[in-house]
Structure 1
Amino acid sequence: MIARRLATELHSALAESPAVALLGPRQVGKTTLALEVAQTRPAVYLDLESEADRAKLAEPELYLAERADKLVILDEIQRTPQLFQSLRGLIDAGRRQGLGKGRFLVLGSASMDLLRQSSESLAGRIRYLELAPLDAAEVGHKQLDALWLRGGFPQSLLAASDAASLRWRVDFIRTYLERDIPQLGPRIPAETLRRLWTMLAHQQGGLLNAAALARALAVDGKTVASYLDLLVDLLLVRRLPPWHGNVRKRLVKAPKVYVRDSGLVHALLGITDREALLAHPVAGGSWEGTAIESLIAAAPRGTEAYFFRTSAGAEIDLLLQLPGRAAPWAVEFKRSIAPKIERGFHAACETVAPERRWVVYGGTERFSIAAGVEAIALDDLCAELAAP
């Protein structure tokens, strides 16, 4: 087992809030983490994809009220969104009886319907936590190459071989497209969504050009936007917005787009092993995406992430605005073990005036690469961000 950073925050959230929503893509480890929590206290686990467990909730208020002294774990809550209304009444009744904390842990694949229902019914009663795939800080430096190639889904990362890992990811993509997404409601042709997902993988870390994607898919711009919104809501794709500081520069306004898990990028593109990855044009963007996801996951709650680019070529790959800090941290990504900084990074830093400047590279040592700029390993910068 690889310890998940979110475990401590999940225990704290249950101690402070009557309901906690643990959101994340399928197969990311939500159920495993929830069952670990269940071992620490009296708990009831219900899988709402199971017809037998759904039948237990034919009269949800009665069933759940009888278990008011236990943590009730409701897995795949988006299958029965009407439960949120019942949970609201039970939480309010429990508060009057002194049962205010740690009542319900709901797990979901972050569908739009899940978020809408819970925000309408449980405002002020629920805390949201996101469980992402495993990241660099969680796996450690020795497994960074495997994390980059296979991605952070536990069954993919820990597979017996690269071939077995790839088979798992291919099956995961097919199941998502043909089964999971249709269950969430949107009627989107699986092949069209696969083509969009694959195009995004080819352009990993590129600026979003919705018009070009629409032309390639033979659909209109609004349709592409809705498809992309769905992939973002399912935590499968990240739109990284441009920094919007008040500077006298012509800033790029389109967001960058990343498929959030590098293993899915490689599966969509048919990349089978490390040698094939190193020879592929997507290698740089794929490694950058892995690093960005790891750093955002390790950053304190409330951190905002951006990139910076001007029409003149000044660029910072990642800006992290940490809560309570006046200026952001600037991060540049260089996969080589002998990193060099381009002039555009220095020019961008003169404009943004970041508090800290980092170059994340492929080595393990930490050293000064220029005045005010440190080269650092990815897992070490994750540790810097996570430090109190």
Structure 2
Amino acid sequence: MATTELIPRRAAAQVAAALADTRVVLISGARQAGKSTLVRVVAGDRLADRRDLDRAADRAAAIADPEGFVDSPELLVIDEIQRVPELLLAIKVSVDENPRPGRFLLTGSSQLFGMIAAPDALPGRMETVELWPLSQGEIDGTPDGFVDAIFSLGPELRHQSAVTRADYAARIVRGGLPEATTRDDARRRERFFDAYIQALLDRDIRQLSDIQRKGELRKMVRLLAARSATVLGANSLESALGLSRPTIARYLQALEEIFLVKRIPGWSRNLGTRATAAPKLVFVDSGLASNELDVDGHALLRPGAPFGPLLESFVLSELSRQRTWCQQAVEISHYRDHSKFEVDVVLENRAGQVVGIEVKAASTVGSDDFRGLRRLAERLGDDFVAGVVLYTGASTLPFGDRLRAMPVSALWQVAAP
């Protein structure tokens, strides 16, 4: 549903808390994910100076006189800090001389520590808050509490859902970029996505890396969308793209640094089995991935459509959003062992407790869908909290000890205990 209202962001509380005790706070995330709006909300009535490095005049001043540019008695907000990474050294000098908290609030659309020519970037002086596109809970005004709930309640968690397969398909193709969520007209949303990708490749990639063959990079983006939520095989990418492995690795790094894609690492523990180290790849926004595959909500429901991979990518990106604000400190990975037992998502907290999640596009679930989760439960013993198959049906169903089928919408409709 389109809306022009300001949507409250869960990251706002994190940013405010960080400003209270940290000298420099960075809001990092994809372009047009809502960083500038979040800054305005958090800054509120504070006295603050603001600079935007997307503006040519501000950028020229920053390059000419970095120390003077960051000299401010009030909170200084600097948008798109990656445009002039040399400012980080001037900020470091400034906060060392005056270490009071809340000196600088930065935003960036590229991962600072991966940038070419970035200086030693404020270790011990800066906290980074990761801002993803809107979550489904932020859009709907629902709790987004699944991660905390499943670790707290385990298999006792229950959820009933009225969300249909068609509703899930519509959510996948819409994604969470604020501008896209305001466009009910599918064609207008497609034009936004097309322009968004082109701008990333034309501007942000050029700033980060010396990539000359943009046509091949564009082809790679489409190929990665077609392989979303699958384990990345370097050999298959080499043969499909006709590029060397080092070139592919450089392109992937650049796409990750501009927050277009995210790699989900393979999970392993000393379990007496060999787990794959190859990562899975997901798009940060499912709407962008769907657009790259030329599918809308109706097409996604047809036989042979990539509903399953896009739904898994959608779930992984929702969980990645949620881990940035939930009370449980969790890592997200996937599992595949030498016997080819697989689990789509592994959540592990700092106590070593694990929740395994499988994603199924079907509205019914069978015992075979729990094959990988049973294997993980056997290996982990008491550290295995629960195994959940997220599916497009309506009810929570038991499938054995600590194993449950649960509607996908539990991700954003369940409240944390």
Question: Is TM (by shorter chain) over 0.5?
Answer: yes
What's the CA shift string for 1:139-162, capped at 9, x where partnerless?
A: 237775543112111111221312
Any residues of structure 2 matched to 1:49-64 within 5 Å, and which?
49-57=54-62, 58-64=64-70
**Aligned residue number for residue 362 of structure 2:** 336
**Aligned residue number for residue 357 of structure 1:** 387
Whichever residue aligns with residue 193 of structure 1, its letter is L
**Aligned residue number for residue 31 of structure 1:** 36
Any residues of structure 2 matched to 1:38-77 within 5 Å, and which?
38-57=43-62, 58-65=64-71, 67-68=72-73, 70-77=74-81
**Aligned residue number for residue 95 of structure 2:** 91
Any residues of structure 2 matched to 1:128-167 within 5 Å, and which?
128-140=128-140, 145-167=169-191
Q: Distance in 2 between matches of 1:116 and 1:21?
A: 18
Matched position secondary structure for 2:195: helix
**Worse-superposed segment, 39-48 or 282-291:** 39-48
Residue 175 to residue 203, structure 1, CA distance change in 2 (3 Å): same
Matched position secondary structure for 2:352: coil
Count of residues paired in the alignment: 379
Q: Distance in 1 between matches of 2:34 and 2:364?
A: 36
Match status 1:327 vs 2:353: yes
Q: In 2, are the aligned partners of 1:25 and 1:109 still within 8 Å (CA)? A: yes
Residue 118 to residue 6, structure 1, CA distance change in 2 (3 Å): farther
Q: Distance in 1 between matches of 2:232 and 2:60?
A: 45
What's the CA shift string for 1:71-110, capped at 9, x where partnerless?
A: 2111111111111111111111212xxxx11111111112
Q: Distance in 1 between matches of 2:187 and 2:168?
A: 18
Q: In 1, are the aligned partners of 2:115 and 2:208 still within 8 Å (CA)? A: no
- How far is 1:56 from its partner? 4.6
Q: In 2, are the aligned partners of 1:309 and 1:348 still within 8 Å (CA)? A: no
Which one of the candidate residues 4, 7, 11 is aligned to 1:6? 11
Residue 383 to residue 12, structure 1, CA distance change in 2 (3 Å): farther
Which one of the candidate residues 262, 265, 285 is aligned to 1:241? 265
**Worse-superposed segment, 255-264 or 16-25:** 255-264
- How far is 1:231 from its partner? 1.4
Any residues of structure 2 matched to 1:1-388 within 5 Å, and which?
1-57=6-62, 58-65=64-71, 67-68=72-73, 70-95=74-99, 100-111=100-111, 120-140=120-140, 145-271=169-295, 273-279=296-302, 280-299=304-323, 300=326, 302-323=329-350, 325-342=351-368, 343-353=371-381, 354-382=384-412, 387=416
Matched position secondary structure for 2:51: strand
Whichever residue aligns with residue 107 of structure 1, its letter is T
- How far is 1:337 from its partner? 3.0
- How far is 1:250 from its partner? 4.0
Task: Give 5+ residue unaligned stretches, structure 1.
Answer: none
Q: State the TM-score, normalized to the length of structure 2.
A: 0.84
Residue 379 to residue 44, structure 1, CA distance change in 2 (3 Å): farther
Q: Distance in 2 between matches of 1:101 and 1:112?
A: 21
Matched position secondary structure for 1:321: strand
Q: Distance in 1 between matches of 2:352 and 2:205?
A: 41
What's the CA shift string for 1:172-204, capped at 9, x where partnerless?
A: 111111222113343242211111111111111
Q: In 1, are the aligned partners of 2:356 and 2:388 still within 8 Å (CA)? A: yes
Q: In 1, are the aligned partners of 2:373 and 2:387 still within 8 Å (CA)? A: no
Matched position secondary structure for 2:134: coil
What's the CA shift string for 1:15-63, capped at 9, x where partnerless?
A: 1101011111111111111111222311122111112223454434335
Matched position secondary structure for 1:264: helix
Q: In 1, are the aligned partners of 2:76 and 2:105 still within 8 Å (CA)? A: yes
Whichever residue aligns with residue 333 of structure 1, its letter is V
- How far is 1:118 from its partner? 6.7
Q: Distance in 2 between matches of 1:55 and 1:229?
A: 28
- How far is 1:360 from its partner? 1.8
- How far is 1:362 from its partner? 2.2
Q: State the TM-score, normalized to the length of structure 1.
A: 0.90
Q: In 2, are the aligned partners of 1:147 and 1:157 still within 8 Å (CA)? A: no
Q: In 2, are the aligned partners of 1:203 and 1:282 still within 8 Å (CA)? A: no
- How far is 1:114 from its partner? 6.4
Tell me the C-alpha RMSD between the 2 structures.
2.4
Q: In 2, are the aligned partners of 1:84 and 1:117 still within 8 Å (CA)? A: no
Task: Give 5+ residue unaligned stretches, structure 2.
Answer: 1-5, 143-162
Whichever residue aligns with residue 65 of structure 2, its letter is E
Q: In 2, are the aligned partners of 1:78 and 1:108 still within 8 Å (CA)? A: yes
- How far is 1:115 from its partner? 5.6
Percent sequence identity is: 31
Q: In 1, are the aligned partners of 2:132 and 2:284 still within 8 Å (CA)? A: no
Q: Distance in 1 between matches of 2:37 and 2:91?
A: 23
What's the CA shift string for 1:234-292, capped at 9, x where partnerless?
A: 22212211111112334333222222221111111111x21111225321011111111
Whichever residue aligns with residue 416 of structure 2, its letter is A
- How far is 1:123 from its partner? 1.1
Q: Distance in 2 between matches of 1:225 and 1:214?
A: 10
